Amino acid sequence: MELHAAQSRTTPLLLHANCLNINPGESPPNCQHPRTRNNKMADIAASDLPDVLEKASLSAPSPADVDFNAIRSCMDEFGFARVSGLYSTQEIRDLLDRVRSRFNPQLDRKHDAKDAEALRNPLQKVVVGGITGINSCARLIRTFFLPLNGPDLFGSHEIFKRLARFRNLLCGEPENFAVDSDEKGLWTASRIHHYVRGGGFMAEHTDFGTAVAAAEAGFDRFAQVILIISQKGRDFHSGGAFIRRGEDRFFYEDGCQSGDVVIYDGRIRHGVADIDGGQPFDFNSIDGRLVGFATLYKRFTNTDSQYKELLKGYTG
């Protein structure tokens, strides 16, 4: 079965609970492209700060074996944590091979923000340029939406279910919360982000989703959870994900391998610097940076009055 072809020329409005202790009603901060920030800021590779990466890292063979208190302490101290052992490197390299072999650029689509339900189906969505509204952040990215109740296009369902269970335990929820069905008005938006070689990026930002929805669902803490699929130094060589530490950008991926899981505090500024910006750009290629997410999104239908209100602030 092919990815859903949701025809449109507009970019998406996503409403998701991926923020950590952000007060309801708080407005999203402005984004900055990495090339427009204070010139005093330095780029620091994880290899240059091995003590930070080491202190922020732990290992566990399954979500149930993770020391979540240690993760929370790492995020409080460093802004992020890294967990290895939940996936083997080979398991995730095999996933990467499947994505590469099954990728079809002709399935790329823009997403009509008015269609809240399109993301509930397999969708190969592209966002290019700046957007406004709830997700005000410039980016150049392709996203494969791979809902867990749909066809398993890349053989990734069990991988994402493990990631979702890890997310749930971190947030203090039952292990299988919203994994197989909607719960508390939320669903698991399992997906792969692709930042194409030659300039794929996401401007510096903080994660701002529906803190109100998170509070209504009874969650006391949220963090963004990322599965490292491609590996810096092997699949791409410059740019990549960073978090802001004071005046500096800390490129934590420099010390990560395929299969690592990174958790960061969504309140801190972070982004994705241009991926191999000096290389030729080819959006028909699957080369570049790929990462996985299993974020909780709020369940909307196209007729929801709350969703229509949110669309008033969206211009595409």
Strands 201-205 and 224-228: unpaired
Annotated domain spans of the chain: 34-311
Residue 223 token pair: 């963090």
Tell me, what's the pLDDT at 9? Answer: 29
Cα separation, 229 vs 241, whole angstroms = 13
Could you tell me if 289 and 240 are in contact, meaning their C-beta atoms sit under 8 angstroms apart?
Answer: yes
Average the pLDDT over 44-48 and give the result: 80
Tell me, what's the pLDDT at 199? Answer: 97
pLDDT, averaged across the chain: 81
Tell if the pTM clears 0.85, that is, is over it: no
pLDDT band at 83 (very low <50, low <70, confident <90, very high): very high
Which three-class secondary structure state does DSSP give residue 13?
coil
**Beta partners for 224?**
264
pLDDT tens, 129-172? 876 555 568 999 999 999 999 999 999 999 999 999 999 999 88
Average the pLDDT over 88-111 and give the result: 97
Stated length of the chain? 316
pLDDT tens, 253-288? 999 999 999 998 777 889 999 999 999 999 999 999
**Beta partners for 80?**
264
Look at 9 and 67; give whichever has higher pLDDT: 67
Q: Which CATH number fits domain 34-311: 2.60.120.620, 2.40.420.20, 3.40.50.2030, 2.40.30.260?
A: 2.60.120.620
Which three-class secondary structure state does DSSP give residue 170?
helix
User: Helix 157-170 and helix 89-102: axis angle, to 10°?
Assistant: 130
